[in-house]
Structure 1
């Protein structure tokens, strides 16, 4: 049975709590002696409990901006693990389109993915957590350069930006399936911290490229310029790797464009690739097209 309830989350370190919840859930799912319909009943009940706790914490532990919600510190850690678990837990409506076996299979797969992600996290508290005022100021700079944060919603589901009080090898990540940005504590310079935040948001801007005709056209033009500027050795012929490389390149390009005034102010050398006149204009055109 699943004994690690959300009530216990209030008294425990969130990542450790989530790992225990996942371990118990997987053991329950893998028990061949338990009827599958009963498994679904327990999963739906647990999912409802997770969702209620998540909604309560969203209301109390986040600051809202158009298109996104921001949380910092321990509330962010609580929200991030709940967001991942809520989004991977099936709901009764899925039985209308999938068999019980398929629902249980995908649920177990999602739990293992989250388990691997959380197990690699260092949960030792850090004093270098990226602060809420810093995040808000960074977003303000980006909006002044043309970022419409209202576009960061996915199917009317706001982006959740969580600044955790933990340090990791990577300073941040964007979890596409969960529409969540995770920021880890770091001692980088002010500019690099801002760049990291906007780089992760850049992944979302990249994913908006197919929204409508104008953004498609503007994006194709932007990519054509990037391919001309990049050496052949950097453009892999394998489709999946090529797309991933381009996504990272575009996320970096968007972040650097949005921070260009800050770069000039701090006298930071800019990349010749990013700030040739045509590329800068192409990014501006793409951001404008997303608002059309």
Structure 2
């Protein structure tokens, strides 16, 4: 689970995981997929050796984070605003103890997390200079990817009250949640919820990756299905709440050429819409492109790596 918790001004708690060099000048935020949680590290060697401080937050209802308040709709922009509040408070608390980091950060998001990263950049441009969007589906109305029967279901949920919508979708996902919580890490956690397919077999064979994904999914369902239900509602039943074309930060769009969920058409849509962007496709890779691409993501978000700091040991 997350290695610390942060209490927002509203009183809601969020779980936070930190990786890399804790005193590095460059801060990078990583937004997890759906389902997911902050504990996932796509490539620990790359994360440790880039000379960056990596921060990841559990979105509401996942891991160690409180769920969305009663009566409120889960939202992409709300998740982005949680990150902004954490980053601002981190900077405020660090300054008196002599840790003065640059005013802007880099932010990356995998799959559903890519939308949160873009919302953060659109709503808080003063905090970010570079964005990486990895295997993130485009809006369904522009690049169809959600089966029509499921989109119809989401549309119906969107006409309910937020509490009723979350309750109904959570009930639909309860079986998936129960199976995940009962799964044994030693025997392997089912990864189909992440869109992992046969094309990802070679990537999945990377040292420790399957175990790290399994631990993330176990943590994602720690509180039951509420986190993933909220995420699904935020991008299928309600408007996204921001315009991607408003993002002014330099943006890297990464996709797996064999990704059945968010392949080339999705990456190409983002490249057309985002003003300062470039697309890079990884051949022979599916939705798990985040693992082989992580070193590239870090090199883009932190183009000038810092030397590793001596721990004093």
**TM-score of the superposed pair, with normalisation by structure 2:** 0.26
Q: Which is richer in helix?
A: 1
User: Which structure has the greater CA radius of gyration?
Assistant: 1
Structure number having the greater strand percentage? 2
